[in-house]
Amino acid sequence: MNPIISALITICIYPGALFAIVAAVLLGWVRGYARAAASGNANAAPVFSLREITRRTRQQSVETEGTNFAVTQIITIAAITAPLLALVFMPFPGNSNPSISLFPTNAIAEAALLLGMPLSKILLGWLTPSPYTRLAAIRSVRALLGYVVPFVYAVTVAMALHGSLTLEGFFTPIPSGTAIHNYFIEVILLIAGLLYLICIPVFTRLTPLRADFGAIELASGELTELSGGQLLVMRAAEAIQTLAFIGFGVSIFVAPLFSAGAIRSVSFIAILFIVAILLGVWEGFAPRIRTSEDYMQPITAWNNMGLLILEAAGILGFLVIHLINIYFHW
């Protein structure tokens, strides 16, 4: 096939814009229903619905006082472009994208693209002259800073063990050694995968919604002053970010475990939905976790402690493998 036609199909259809919207809506439904079931709220709104798409399309964007409409427009476009590009160059099942032959997909670039949407939301919150959006932006900065390190660590571990910076290189077997050597490699990969899994709720965080008389409205967050097409684009960016971030994790941690073919494709899709369900369950269950006394540590402290333990265990495992290679030549 002509490279230009192949690139256009990849960008516009699969795994580009059309696939991104459809898959994001499906994952949004799964995530929303799982969250509703876990929270006990039968009337919980879906994460991203076709009804919202049609309603926001008919609504005209209103320029917020004190903001520049053109700057806001540029930021919203960048917010949805980043996860879309990450999807285009991601080795999804059946993706014949041009990156394999012309532009090798760099895992570092993919990770950087996945930071685009959260950073765009923070920037919009800061640019909007509202104490509520700026407070939400401050909270998002704190959360993002706390989870960037484990995210980068997880991706770096996967790249180091596979010995490749390109996503195509992740599908080659990891060089094997003795049983002890292989055991430590499996443990380190497991730790890196768990760290990536823990990062998913932060990097795919959605703007809180509430359903009033059948209409879905924003309850709080950085986007509460947006409207019309701009709000639609940001809501779509949040949904596509979920697909891209989970898909990237599956690409580097799970897909290499399966041989090429139908088994890998089915496993890839199944794990996408499983992780979306787990994410929705966590979002529905997490608000119930509260400490009973003021002198007790908050749940975030215990969560951060778990991150530190996993990171320390992963670094220790790397040191053990390095020492084994040096002193025993395994």
pLDDT surpasses 90 at 120: yes
pTM of the model: 0.82
pLDDT top residue among 230 and 49 = 230
CB atoms inside a 10 Å sphere around CB 301: 11
Taking the C-alpha atoms of residue 276 and residue 255, their distance in angstroms, rounded to an integer, is: 17
Q: For residue 292, with 0-12 CB atoms within 10 Å meaning exposed, 13-18 middle and 19 or more buried, which class applies? A: exposed
User: The tokens 């002053």 sit on which residue?
Assistant: 225
Beta strand segments in 126-196, E: none
Query: Would you call the peptide bond into 15 cis, given omega within 30 degrees of 0 as the criterion?
Result: yes
Q: Among 165, 171, 151, which Cα is nearest to 265's?
A: 171
Residues whose CB is less than 8 angstroms from the CB of residue 12 and which lie 6 or more positions away in sequence, other chains included: 18
pLDDT in tens, 39-48: 877 555 555 5
Q: State in Å, rounded, how far the first CA of the chain is from the last one.
A: 45
User: What is the CB neighbour count within 10 angstroms for residue 36?
Assistant: 18
Domain extents for the chain? 3-328
Tell me: the pLDDT tens digits for 137-180? 888 888 888 888 889 888 888 888 777 777 766 666 666 665 66
With the C-alpha atoms ordered 149, 201, 136, 229, is the resulting torsion angle positive or negative? positive
